[in-house]
Amino acid sequence: MNKRFVVLFLLCWGIASAISLLPAAPPAESDNPFFKPYGTPFDVPPFDRIRNEHFLPAIEEGIRREQAEVAAIVDNPEPPTFANTIAALDHGGILLSQVAAVFGALQGADTNKELQALARKTAPMLAAHRDDIGLNEKLFLRVKAVYDGRSALKLDREELFLLENAFRGFVRGGALLDAKSKARLREINQDLSLLSVKFGDNVLAETNGFKLVIENPVDLAGLPPSVVAMAAETAKQAGLDGKWVFTIQVPSMTPFLQYSEKRDLREKLHRAYFMKGDNDDARDNKENVRQIVALRQEKARLLGYPNHAAFILEENMAKTPERVNAFLKRLWEPTLVKSKKEAAELQALIDRRGGGFKLASWDWWNAAEKLRQEKYALDDSALRPYFKLDNVRGGIFALCDKLYGLTFTERTDLPRYNPEVQAFEVKEADGSHLGILYLDFHPRESKRGGAWSGAFRRSFVENGQRVPPVATIVCNFTRPTADAPSLLSADEVETFFHEFGHSLSTLFSRGRFRDRTVARDSVELPSQIMEHWAFTPELLAVYSRHYKTGEVIPAELVEKLEKSSLFNQGFVTAEYLAASILDMAWHTLPDATGIDVRKFESDAMAGIGLIPEIVPRYRSPYFSHIFSGGYSAGYYVYIWAEVLDCDAFEAFKEKGIFDRETALSFRKNILEPFGTEDPMTQYVRFRGKEPGIEPLLRKRGLDKE
């Protein structure tokens, strides 16, 4: 099952034998907001009433209720049917789902030491909870009975898809193992749950633990005023008035690497970033990596697979590690050629400017920015004034109106988990309610790095009525300063469009059931297709206005942006592919016993010829996607899905990029049924054919290498 879409389902799908003395149902007068109707507009979580101490009893009570629900299914004297077994399982665990959604969201976006400790306490509880349902022999027999008799049942497409995936989920969860193997599987899952939490906590602590403090203005050489102002604001928040602080959060680090003329400071900052979790101290993640890989490998073999990648990929469009590796190799070969050409160009620029040093990873951004200005007269700092965060948000709203007729109304009356969060009601063209969207934009020490889209509630059907979703987008965008609003980089603009695509998939979902089984390598299609609109001249004319003058972005700047679209793509693709190949190397490893993590990574990168001037986008000790997220043996999915999104956008270009008919087809065939059917079947229904790789190669400038 796809973890992004079914994690809440899995969290609340089972009986926890490890918790034999759970409390009785809480009294009606309990002040725990999870034990009563929320009583909020649109039934959003009552963040103003939720406290840390509410989570543990709510999780325990959610497990207790789920125990009763599953017991009722198992003890039902009636023969197993789709309704009394499969649908009943899908409908179970609503309380735990609600609690897990809020707890998981706060863990990522607004955590604290109490929540982190609670995560370490509850992770093994929930792992046991999942295992007891997956390894419940009587329940599996009922599921199997329905599955075996499916040909005689009059199930519709969505029901059959749910049944098939439920049965496969039990088998993949160990239902066919003997007693000894089941016991070992439980131990492995317990250990993995704790290691994942520990890994993520270490990455967050490492990210928050480094600050480059500048006291001498001479060390600000080359930095634009806006970057200096941002650093001064960061220093002020850290209690260092009169100084400048840069962190290894991307919005702070990247502009420093782009513009700073202090090479020693660039190295210090970049080295702090790429050595996260690899400093042989209390926050070192290398042993966590080794243990996670070893346990995943053992689990895969226990379940009958040669390695973890084979186990994961069985559920994806790619199906096998061999197919993924062949796909990555096809892309890597022209990418390596292109990145070497780019490195030579950057070295030549350094030499002719009298740099007197050999290009290193901490020089790449700086040299590339100078070369871009030289080639295209385009400076990233010249673009930012036209990408005010509020305007970019307005541009996305306008795009959603053009394509789908949606409207977004800010709701300041809704509870929020942090004062910075914004909440919007989303309505259809006819004014009917579609869902709620929470937006959380800026870095803080309580938030992990990166950007993601999630949900406090995903839609499903209850008593014949659609329960509308409550979607979230969490980012780490450039903060406003004392003198300017939040002005985004081009990368941040693209990220905003990307995450909004995920949220549209959540908002549009029309599945009847709570389970969404989406092949991981198709999950990025809704998000990545949105990126294609971000810098189209037609949409830039709508939202890209100078934050001071209101002037629409000049045509010559748009032209420069278009002409430079292939610039530095060798680097961008190489650092991403290197991380994808590293992920596959870890998860096809036959044996991780005694492995030297740093050496393994170095050998894997040497094996593909990665040039030393480029570091993988994520090194192993901070590769949260694969060691504390849901992308193990799956980081390749972004570029796999890019084949889909590049081909899909061709359909819009053929009829006009704002064509309502094409958008309606994309919504009806892809977004609404997402996770309820085979993704390629959905894609062919939309496009009329399977996708080709050529649009992707053109987009990244790899078609001529």
Percentage of the residues of the chain whose pLDDT score is greater than 90: 92
Give a yes or no: residue 518 inside a domain: no
Tokens describing residue 63? 């497990």
pLDDT the model gives residue 404: 98
66 is catalytic: no
Amino acid symbol at 418: N
Q: Are 138 and 74 in contact (CB under 8 A)?
A: yes
Residue 632's nearest CA partner among 600, 586, 695, 675 is 586
pLDDT of 163 strictly over 60: yes
CA–CA distance, 104 with 454 (Å, rounded to integer): 10
pLDDT at site 25: 52
Quick one: 56 and 149 in the same domain? yes
d(CA 314, CA 192): 21
Provide the pLDDT confidence category of residue 705 given band limits of 50, 70 and 90. Answer: confident
**Residue 66 maps to a domain:** yes
Asked if residue 315 lies in contact with residue 1, where contact means CB atoms within 8 angstroms, the answer is: yes
Q: Which residue, 567, 194, 530, is CA-closest to 376?
A: 567
Does 218 lie in the same domain as 109? no
Q: Model confidence at 314, in pLDDT bands (50, 70, 90)?
A: very high
Query: Which secondary-structure segment (H or E) carries 423?
Result: strand 422-427
What sign does the CA torsion over 671, 672, 676, 677 have? Answer: negative
Give the pLDDT of residue 11. 30
Instruction: Tell me the average pLDDT across 518-543.
Output: 96
Q: What is the pLDDT of residues 64-87, one digit of tens each?
A: 999 999 999 999 999 999 999 999
Q: Are residues 74 and 144 in the same domain?
A: yes
State the Cα–Cα distance between residues 137 and 132, nearest whole angstrom.
Answer: 9
Please tell me whether residues 19 and 111 are part of one structural domain: yes
For residue range 600-626, list pLDDT tens digits in order.
999 999 999 999 999 999 999 999 999
Q: How confident is the model at residue 18 (pLDDT cuts 50, 70, 90)?
A: very low
**3-state DSSP helix/strand/coil percent for the chain, to nearest 5?**
60, 5, 35
Among residues 200, 233, 263, which one ends one of the domains?
A: 263
- What does the block give as tokens for 81? 């049917």
What gap in Å lies between CA 639 and CA 628, rounded to an integer?
A: 21
User: How far apart are alpha carbons 424 and 412 in whole angstroms?
Assistant: 8
Give dist(CA 246, CA 253) in Å, integer: 6
Structure tokens at 177: 């193992």
85 belongs to a structural domain? yes
Residue 593 domain-assigned (yes or no) = no
Q: Are residues 161 and 14 in the same domain?
A: yes
d(CA 460, CA 622): 35
Residues 170 and 241 in one domain: no
Residue 157 within any structural domain of the chain: yes
Q: How many CB atoms lie within 10 A of CB 168?
A: 15
**pLDDT above 60 for 475:** yes
List the beta bridge partners of residue 244. Answer: 214
Position 236 pLDDT exceeds 50: yes
Confidence at residue 26, expressed as pLDDT on a 0 to 100 scale: 53
- Of 154, 176, 198, the residue at which a domain comes to its end is 176
Looking at residue 555, its pLDDT comes to: 95
Residue 241 within a domain = yes
Q: Smallest Cα–Cα separation from 259: which of 349, 78, 380?
A: 380
Same domain, yes or no: 12 and 150: yes
Boundary (domain end) residue, out of 196, 228, 263: 263
CA-CA distances (angstroms) from residue 632 to 358, 510, 519, 537? 35, 28, 13, 37
Distance CA 212, CA 271 (A): 12
Same domain as 87, residue 151: yes
Domain that holds residue 142: 3-176
In the chain, the number of structural domains is 2
Q: What are phi and psi of 473, to 5 degrees?
A: -130, 125
Shared domain check, 54 and 101: yes
Distance CA 146, CA 57 (A): 35
Q: Which residue has the higher pLDDT, 27 or 597?
A: 597
Annotate 294-322 with DSSP letters as a single string.
HHHHHHHHHTT-SSHHHHHHTTSSS-SHH
Whole-number Å distance between alpha carbons of 106 and 108: 5
- Two tokens at 442? 């800026």
Task: Check whether 29 has a pLDDT greater than 90.
Answer: no
**pLDDT interval class at 517 (50, 70, 90):** confident
Q: Which residues contact 680 (CB under 8 A, 6 or more apart)?
A: 317, 522, 690
Q: What is the mean pLDDT of residues 427-433?
A: 98
Question: Which pLDDT belongs to residue 1?
Answer: 30
Residue with tokens 């799956």: 634
Question: In which band, very low, low, confident or very high, does the pLDDT at 653 lie, cut at 50, 70 and 90?
Answer: very high
Side-chain-side CA neighbours of 474 within 13 Å: the count stands at 22
DSSP code for 27: P
Distance from C-alpha of 434 to C-alpha of 508, rounded to nearest angstrom: 8
Residues 172, 108 share a domain = yes
Q: What is the pLDDT of residue 66?
A: 94
Q: Which of 425, 499, 575, 601 is catalytic?
A: 499
Whether residue 147 is contained in a domain is answered as yes
| Exposure letters 184-206 (e unless 16+ CB within 10 A, then b) | ebbebbbbbbbbbbbbbbbbbeb
- For residues 465-485, average pLDDT: 95
CATH assignment of the domain containing 15? 1.10.1370.40
Do 171 and 231 have their domain in common?
no
Mean pLDDT of the chain: 94
Q: What is the 3-state secondary structure (H, E, C) of 205-253?
A: HHHHHCCEEECCHHHHCCCCHHHHHHHHHHHHHCCCCCCEEECCCHHHH
What element of type H or E holds 544? none
Determine, yes or no, domain membership for 186: no
Say whether both 222 and 154 belong to one domain. Answer: no
